[in-house]
Amino acid sequence: MSRNDTAESNPGMVDIERVGEIVVLTIDHAPINALNLTVRSRLLSLIEQVDDYPEVRAIILQSRGRHFVAGADIREFDLPPQAPLLNDVLKAVEGCSKPVIAAMQGSVLGGGFELALACHYRLAAHNAMFGMPEIRLGLLPGSGGTQRLPRLIGLAKSLEIMLSGEPIDCETARSLGVVDRVTPSGNLSADALNFAHELVASGAVPPRIREQSVPGPSLDPAFVAEQRSKAARRHPGVASVDFIIECVEAAATLPFEAGLALGRLRFEECRNSSGSKALRYLFFAERHKNSKETARSVESVGVLGAGTMGSGIAVSLSLAGLRVTLADTNAEALAAGMQRVRSTIEASVAKGRIDRSTGNAAIARVVGGSRIDDLAMADFIIEAVFENLAVKEQVFRNLGEVCKTGAILASNTSTLDIDAIAAASGRAQDVVGMHFFSPANIMRLVEIVRGEETATEVIATVLALTKRMGKLGVVVGNCFGFVGNRMLYAYGRENQLLMLEGATPSQIDAAMQGFGMAMGPNAVGDLAGLDVGYRVRRERKDLPDDPRYYRVADLLVENGRLGQKTRAGAFDYAEGARRPERSSAVEEMIAAEASRLGVTRRIISDDEVVKRCVFALINEGANILAAEIAQSPADIDTIWCNGYGFPRYRGGPMCYADTLGLRDVVREIQALAFAHGDRYWKVSPLLLDLAERGGSFRQM
């Protein structure tokens, strides 16, 4: 390195610049400055070189772009560890004989937070956010975070940060002692240089967190139990919870090197676990997919239908900064919908999710309309009326006549034929499906249904709009139920048949929750309303010629048991309660119907319940892929983990099939066909082909 003030540009993603007695190292690895192998190698080499120069008195470590370092390169976690490990880099940084200042902005997460802790001083911009989100990937901080952070801020707060996976803001970090100084001028680079000169002038000796003792008391068992319980609710099925607790406790009981080794050991155990692999797979599956097409401009949106779904959609749009006209021809429904918009946003303010000014602005952006004509000048219209094809076709005829040229017309339908709806509009190229999930203002998932004539820029616009709303848009093809609900019918079919054959609703739900589903299928049906599916089945012309098919659900509706709204569905519900209670009347009703249909009843194991429900999902998912209704197995898994409560630590139905091995999956489906006939158990040709070739869904 030159003794003079020089700047060196390099292909190693870390730049070095000399400013008198100060060296500035700048990580430049867009977009999040992830600590991949190249960055680690270059950073280690430069730290070791600079430490040997006596004329260099201090080092600033900063990053280019919006973020300091938002973590490791997650793609490397599927590969064998490659030296230098991040631990090696951090030991060199912390062991440096010259003061090292971390100058941080934006995200300081995971390995980035661990890197900051290895530095001797931490200067932060006001927008800096600090966190250790590894638990979301079934991991733990594996490069000293479990040892350094407790030595800095104590055991309890460290455990909270790691088990929640949530970031803390700059002011909180400063109050905890994570940040030494918040940039006084707002110019992070200039303030970092001033800070460095101050340290040099004072002759500061680099303080090392590893040499400190853990401050404060030991962990209270009741506090640990509470944090473990919270983490289990936030991150169900994640095995790293107990490892995080173990390693944080070790910071107070083991020497630093021993604690560091324990953390690395536990990290590797987690990294190689099926749960973490599934969560990492979902991390990439759920990344927003940008379209190469240019999206149309959208500033104003109309929502037609002011019911629960329509008002929820309006809330999401208004919070995204869009002007919204919520229209309904029924005056009472419109008034109720507008009130629901206001109360929903007010509730978010009361809970601290948004501030008062943001809430007031969002409420003001929603106006009511009593006629379809009120939507005439909207850039984008989302229809959210009754789930009936004839009704929606008439609505789209009207929209096609009223709305301005170039406006996008979207139908919030969960099952209906988008091409039929599009044809009714007279402008099929502008029509698309948007299947929101309830409650629409909370659920992230939106199935974006591509019709035969839907223009590519319309798909691009919907993808951009869902991203703006903070939602996860997945493009799917057009068929009954699209991806999610088509698979749901296969899953539900087995639930229905199992009840006729002898399993109770309670047993089935308990077995599926034991597998990891957020709710059992019967509780889900009661929550959604059994009459919804009943009406859909009445309209379908393609139902199997099987008197057992969804007979239990139909029977419940025909006896006035519609679910929670009538306090009676597959389960009973006490007044004002949502907790399902076993119903002997329902079980007797099912047994009598099975007898009438000639179904032999027997004792059914929980294992059979899970196999039949899950393998029905996998097989139908393979058929959907073969028909190109889903673009990839990852899209199916994204839909089922975000819309239907499939356990994230299993990665989704198709990922789970890969975990089991496709040859074993085929054998299980063939065994089910032998036991129950091949009406519903014909192995998907795609699944069979992949299994015979030793392939997997992930390789598609």
Cα–Cα–Cα angle for 313, 443, 657, rounded to 5 degrees: 140
Q: Which two tokens stand for residue 341?
A: 């918009």
Dihedral (C-alpha) 634, 640, 641, 646: value to the nearest 10 degrees?
-130
* Separation of alpha carbons 535 and 648, rounded Å: 31
In eight-state DSSP terms, residue 52 is: T
- Beta bridge partners, 369, equal 327
- Residue indicated by tokens 């027997």: 602
Question: Phi then psi for 299, rounded to 5 degrees?
Answer: -125, -30
**Three-state DSSP state, 633:** helix
Of these residues, 8, 76, 134, 558, which one is catalytic?
Answer: 134
Tell me how far CA of residue 287 lies from CA of 277, 290, 659, in angstroms: 16, 9, 22
Q: Which two tokens stand for residue 430?
A: 């502008």
* Nearest residue to 139 via CA among 286, 283, 278, 276: 276
Q: Which two tokens stand for residue 345?
A: 């946003």
Q: Which helix (H) or strand (E) holds 61?
A: strand 58-63
301 touches 293 (CB < 8 A): no
Is the Cα torsion angle 352, 356, 361, 364 positive or negative in sign?
positive
The verdict on whether 114 is a catalytic residue reads yes
Strands 431-436 and 14-19, how do they pair? unpaired
Largest CA distance in the chain: 94
* Separation of alpha carbons 636 and 647, rounded Å: 13
Question: Phi then psi for 72, rounded to 5 degrees?
Answer: -85, 175
Strands 14-19 and 7-8, how do they pair? antiparallel
**382, amino acid identity:** I
636 touches 625 (CB < 8 A): yes
**Three-state DSSP state, 109:** strand
307 touches 333 (CB < 8 A): yes
Tell me how far CA of residue 152 lies from CA of 241, 530, 545, in angstroms: 21, 54, 68
* Separation of alpha carbons 395 and 413, rounded Å: 13
Tell me how far CA of residue 362 lies from CA of 323, 341, 344, 348, 443, in angstroms: 9, 9, 11, 11, 19
Of these residues, 114, 249, 383, 387, which one is catalytic?
Answer: 114
- Beta bridge partners, 15, equal 26
* Separation of alpha carbons 350 and 404, rounded Å: 38
List, as one string, the DSSP characters of 264-326: HHHHHHHHTSHHHHHHHHHHHHTS----SSPPPP-SEEEEE--SHHHHHHHHHHHHTT-EEEE
* Separation of alpha carbons 32 and 27, rounded Å: 10
* Separation of alpha carbons 39 and 27, rounded Å: 7
The verdict on whether 134 is a catalytic residue reads yes
How would you classify residue 662: left for phi > 0, otherwise alpha for psi between -120 and 50, otherwise beta? alpha
* Nearest residue to 194 via CA among 346, 22, 444: 22
* Separation of alpha carbons 178 and 121, rounded Å: 9
- Beta-carbon count within 10 A of 467 CB: 16
Active site residues: 114, 134
